[in-house]
A and B are shown apart, each in its own frame.
Chain A
C-alpha cells in the first residue's frame, strides 16, 4: 500500500511503515553499535515514544557513560523531525541544562531535517556532537543523574 503523492512524484512511505522499519533496525543493531534505540513501550501501537541510548565516545569526557534519551515521533514523522530529550544528565551544547531537551536548531540533523533521516541518524549526530572540540571537554555532572521532568 504505497502512497504516491501527485505533487512530489516521490514515494512517500507511511509513517508507521517507517517506524516499524526503524524498530526492526534498532533490534537488529544496525549501525556501528554506539547507539541503540527502541520503543519505550512495546504496546505502543502508534510507535510514538522511543527510548534511545548513546554510548559516550572514547577520548572524550563522555567516555564510558551511557546516555539515555527519549525520542518522540509525532504524527507528521518522518516529514517532521522528532522531539528529542536527554534523560541522563549531560552537559552538551544544544541541550537545555534544566530539562535535557535538545534544541532543534543546535543539531544539524534536526535543524535541516529530511525525511530520509531516522532516529538513528539523530542519535549518531548527537554522539558526533559529543566529539566536537567545543563539547568534548565540558565538565559533566556525576554519573547516574537524570533530568527532572
Chain B
C-alpha cells in the first residue's frame, strides 16, 4: 500500500498527479534582449515542447525562436534535462524577425534582390515618386523607387520609405546610417536623381505628408501644415537636406544662437515653458521626418521653430557673434567681422536686431543660416526671449552645451570640411565664447529661479541664499533642491 502512492488516498494530491512518472514542474526564466518571462514547464520536457510554450507567451512563431543556454543553442530534439536546465535558471531567447523587416544585414549580401520586394511594396503607396524617379541612374536596374540601390549598404532602405509599411523603420535606419556615415550621405545627395527629387517641393511635401506620424503631428500642430505648404520653405529645407554638412553646420549654429539667447534676462522660464509645450509632439514626430526636415519648421514658424533644436541632439550652440554694434562683448565683435565677411550671401537686412546679445540671423552660422526663414525666426526669437529660454531649458541641452564648451574640438569636428564654409577657427572662437558665457553665468540664477525661490520660501525655507544655491545645483528642480536643503540643514 505504501508503495503504490498513486491509489493511496492519504497521499498528497500533487504526488498523486505526478506520481506515475515523478515529474515536476520547473520555472525557467526566458530572457530576450528586450524582456523576460517566467515559464513553467515540466522538468523532462523536450526543447520543442518548451518552444511551444514560449511561442505562445511571446507571440512568435516556432521557427523564429532560437534558444540558448549556457552558450549552446538548444535544438528541438534535445530535452531540457540534457542541457541541465533546472528550476530557476535562465535561458536566452532570440526571436528572429523576418528578414525583410530587419533590412540592413541580410540585404547587404543580396543588395538588389532584397531591395526589390521592398521597393515593390513601397512603390504602390506613393504615386508621384515613381514618376519622378523613373529616369535611370539609380543603379542596377531595380524598381524606380529604389533610389538608394546604387549605394550598397543602403539598398535595403530602398524607396526611401515612400509611405510603405516599413516607412518608419526605413527612415530611422536611414537616418541612423546617414548620421553615422557622412560619406554615404554625400553619396546619396550627389545622386542626381535624389537632387532632382529634392528640388521638387511638391514631391517632398507629399512624402512628408504621407508619413502617418507627420499627419498626426499636423493635426496637433497646424503650423506644421502651414510650413509644409510654404514652397519657399520647402525649397530651403531641401537645400539644407541636400547638403548634409551644411545641415550639420546649421544645426550647430542654431544651437549656439539658442544658448546665447538664454542669457536674455527673464526669458529663461518662458522658454522652458514653451519648450515643454511643443516638446512632445514634435520630438517624436520629427524623428520620422524625412531628410531631417526639422529645420523646415524652424524657418517659417516661431512656435514650431522650437522643435528643431529639440529633436536634434547634436544641436550646436548659437553663434554669439552679432553685427558690430549690437554685440555685447568685444571678442564677439571681432568674431562677427570675420563671420560677416565670410557670409557672402547673407542678407544685411537683419543686422540691427534689438538683441542684447547681438544675435544676428545673418551673422549666424557661417553663411549657412542665410536663409530668410532662419533670419525671421531669429528675429522673432530675439524679440521674444521667452521662446529662446524655453528652447534652452531642456536639461540635455545644457549638458550638451557644457560639454561643447569644454570641448572646442567637438564642435569643429562636427562639420564636414568638404562642404563647409566656416573655418574651424571661428568655431574655436565660438567655443571660447561659450566658455566665457558659462563661466560668467547666464541669467542670474535668482531671476531664473524666481518662481522656485518663491515656492521654497512659501514652504518655509527662509534661507534665500541656501535656496538659491540648492536651486542652482539642481538646475531648478524644486524637489531635488528641497532634498539638498534638508540634507544640509543643521538639525
Chain A residues in the interface with B (C-beta under 8 A): 23, 26-29, 32-34, 36-39, 42, 50-53, 55-56, 58-66, 68-69, 133, 137, 139-140, 142
Q: Which residue of B lies closest to A142 (CB)?
A: B109
A64:B89 contact, CB within 8 angstroms: no
Q: Does B482 touch A at the CB level, under 8 Å? A: no
Residues on A with C-beta less than 8 A from B29 are 29
Binary flags per residue of B55-92, CB closer than 8 Å to A gives 1, else 0: 00000000000101111110000000000100011111
A139:B92 contact, CB within 8 angstroms: no
Whole-angstrom distance between the alpha carbons of A51 and B73 in the complex? Answer: 10
- Choose one: A33, A52, A60, A133; the contact of B31 (CB below 8 Å): A33
- Choose one: A33, A50, A56, A59; the contact of B71 (CB below 8 Å): A50
B72:A53 contact, CB within 8 angstroms: yes
Which of B90, B153, B180 has the most CB atoms of chain A within a 10 A radius of its CB?
B90
A85 to chain B, nearest CB (A): 13
Q: Which 4 pairs between the two chains have the least Cβ-Cβ distance?
A: A38-B70, A29-B90, A51-B71, A37-B71
Extra pairs beyond A32-B33, A59-B176, A64-B102 (19, CB < 8 Å): A27-B89, A27-B90, A29-B31, A33-B36, A38-B70, A51-B70, A51-B71, A53-B72, A53-B73, A55-B68, A55-B94, A59-B173, A60-B105, A61-B104, A62-B105, A63-B102, A65-B105, A68-B71, A68-B72
A44 to chain B, nearest CB (A): 12
The contact sample of 19 A-B pairs, CB cut-off 8 A, is: A23-B70, A27-B69, A27-B89, A28-B90, A29-B31, A29-B91, A33-B32, A34-B33, A36-B70, A36-B71, A55-B68, A56-B105, A58-B102, A63-B104, A63-B105, A64-B105, A66-B66, A66-B73, A68-B71
Q: Which residue of A lies closest to B180 (CB)?
A: A133
A99 to chain B, nearest CB (A): 19
Whole-angstrom distance between the alpha carbons of A137 and B155 in the complex? Answer: 13
A39:B70 contact, CB within 8 angstroms: yes
Q: With A36-B70, A51-B71 given, is the CB distance from A29 to B92 under 8 Å?
A: yes
B76 to chain A, nearest CB (A): 15
A51:B89 contact, CB within 8 angstroms: no
Whole-angstrom distance between the alpha carbons of A62 and B106 in the complex? Answer: 9
A61:B90 contact, CB within 8 angstroms: no
B104:A59 contact, CB within 8 angstroms: yes
Q: Does B352 touch A at the CB level, under 8 Å? A: no
Residues on A with C-beta less than 8 A from B102 are 58, 63-64
B153:A137 contact, CB within 8 angstroms: yes
Which of B66, B68, B109 has the most CB atoms of chain A within a 10 A radius of its CB?
B68
A37:B94 contact, CB within 8 angstroms: no
Whole-angstrom distance between the alpha carbons of A29 and B96 in the complex? Answer: 20
Residues on A with C-beta less than 8 A from B428 are none
Residues on A with C-beta less than 8 A from B173 are 59
B71:A139 contact, CB within 8 angstroms: no
Whole-angstrom distance between the alpha carbons of A137 and B73 in the complex? Answer: 25
Residues on A with C-beta less than 8 A from B69 are 27, 36, 38
A61 to chain B, nearest CB (A): 5
Residues on A with C-beta less than 8 A from B91 are 29
Whole-angstrom distance between the alpha carbons of A66 and B88 in the complex? Answer: 24
Which of A27, A42, A56, A139 has the most CB atoms of chain B within a 10 A radius of its CB?
A27
Whole-angstrom distance between the alpha carbons of A34 and B66 in the complex? Answer: 13
Q: With A33-B36, A59-B173, A63-B104 given, is the CB distance from A38 to B71 under 8 Å?
A: yes
Whole-angstrom distance between the alpha carbons of A39 and B71 in the complex? Answer: 8
Q: Does B97 touch A at the CB level, under 8 Å? A: yes
Whole-angstrom distance between the alpha carbons of A139 and B102 in the complex? Answer: 17
A55:B92 contact, CB within 8 angstroms: yes
Q: Does B121 touch A at the CB level, under 8 Å? A: no
Q: Does B108 touch A at the CB level, under 8 Å? A: yes
Whole-angstrom distance between the alpha carbons of A66 and B102 in the complex? Answer: 15
Residues on B with C-beta less than 8 A from A27 are 69-70, 84, 89-90
A139 to chain B, nearest CB (A): 7
Residues on B with C-beta less than 8 A from A69 are 71
Residues on B with C-beta less than 8 A from A59 are 104, 173, 176
Q: Which residue of B lies closest to A133 (CB)?
A: B180
Whole-angstrom distance between the alpha carbons of A68 and B69 in the complex? Answer: 12
Q: Which residue of A lies closest to B181 (CB)?
A: A133
Whole-angstrom distance between the alpha carbons of A56 and B92 in the complex? Answer: 13
Which of B29, B94, B153 has the most CB atoms of chain A within a 10 A radius of its CB?
B94
Residues on B with C-beta less than 8 A from A38 are 69-72
A147 to chain B, nearest CB (A): 16
B104:A33 contact, CB within 8 angstroms: no
Residues on A with C-beta less than 8 A from B84 are 27, 42
Whole-angstrom distance between the alpha carbons of A59 and B174 in the complex? Answer: 11
Q: Which residue of B lies closest to A37 (CB)?
A: B71
